[in-house]
Amino acid sequence: MRAISAFGPMSISHVAKTTDLPRQTVSRILFFLQDLGYVTRRPNDKRFSLTEYALALTSGAARDTWVSRIAVPAMETLCRDVLWPVALAEPRIPSMEILWDTNDISPLVIKPAPIGLKFPLLTSISGRTYLAFCAPEQRETMIDAVLTESPDALDGIDLSRELLLGQLDEIAEQGFYCGHMPHKAHSSLAAPVFDRSGVRAVVDIRFPLRSLSPNEATARLAEPVTTCAGLISETLRLEQRPG
């Protein structure tokens, strides 16, 4: 279920390859999950995707486990230091979904981004930050999944797939991302959170462009955001250490 959540609709063979499980085992599990209502098989291409029922359960479980224990304290400390609202998001192809936010303690919330809010993966600061720190094969697979689900995802922003890949490489080298998406009155600065398997989520700070330019935000917020994301990552990895 986590593989399908990360990569989007997947065939039995793709799930088997991604999870390193036998194809027969994967087939049996997927059809069992379908009977339980957690996945559905698309009639046009026979690929499996998560149902809303499954997504609601996994989001709730995440908020009750590592998010509440590890991420929330670090995010609240960051929010009190910088005042701007802080959010944590994970991919839900073709979108990113907010797992937690600090809207309730930030004095500078102008347009709330509540828990459960979904926004485009390819055309958001957080989404591109997540993609930038994926392994190359995972990155390509996720972009393919988004464009399959939403073929017009890159339309209207004057950015080809090749230019997007180049931008993702630059973000990975920089360690965070702050920019200005076309036709948006707000922006954000985002940094990746890692567990022992790779990039897990993204921490970001959202602000209106009339208050901060991307350059000003980078100067003021890059260090505290990356420090917060690094602290969450370190704790996650320690918890996952064998023994």
* pLDDT value, residue 12: 93
| 132 and 170 fall within a common domain | yes
Q: Please indicate, yes or no, whether residues 115 and 221 belong to a single structural domain of this protein.
A: yes
Whether residue 75 sits in one domain with residue 35: no
Question: Are 21 and 80 found together in one domain?
Answer: no
Q: Of the candidates 79, 80, 62, which has an alpha carbon nearest to the alpha carbon of residue 70? A: 62
Mean pLDDT of 19-47: 87
How many distinct structural domains can be found in the chain?
Answer: 2
pLDDT of residue 168: 94
More confident residue, 161 or 171: 171
pLDDT exceeds 80 at position 59: no
> Is 17 found in the same domain as 126?
no
Residue 60 lies in a domain: no
What residue numbers bound the domain in which 148 lies?
Answer: 65-240
Averaged pLDDT for residues 37-66 = 70
| Domain match, 93 and 28 both | no
Are 46 and 132 members of one domain? no
Name the pLDDT band for 55 (thresholds 50, 70, 90). Answer: low
Q: Is residue 59 part of a domain?
A: no
Report helix, strand or coil for 88.
strand
Segment 23-28 mean pLDDT: 93
Q: What is the largest CA-CA distance in the chain?
A: 56
Three-class SS of 137-187: HHHHHHHHHHHHHCCCCCCCCCCCHHHHHHHHHHHHHHCCEECCCCCCCEE
Averaged pLDDT, 117-126: 90
Residues 69 and 48 in one domain: no
Please check whether residues 7 and 121 belong to one and the same domain: no
Contact 53, 38 (CB under 8 A): yes
Q: What is the pLDDT of residue 61?
A: 47
165 by Cβ neighbours in 10 Å (0-12 / 13-18 / 19+) ranks as middle
Per-residue CA distances from 176 to 76, 151, 169 (Å): 20, 27, 11
pLDDT tens digits for range 226-239: 999 999 999 999 88
What was the pLDDT predicted at 241?
A: 73
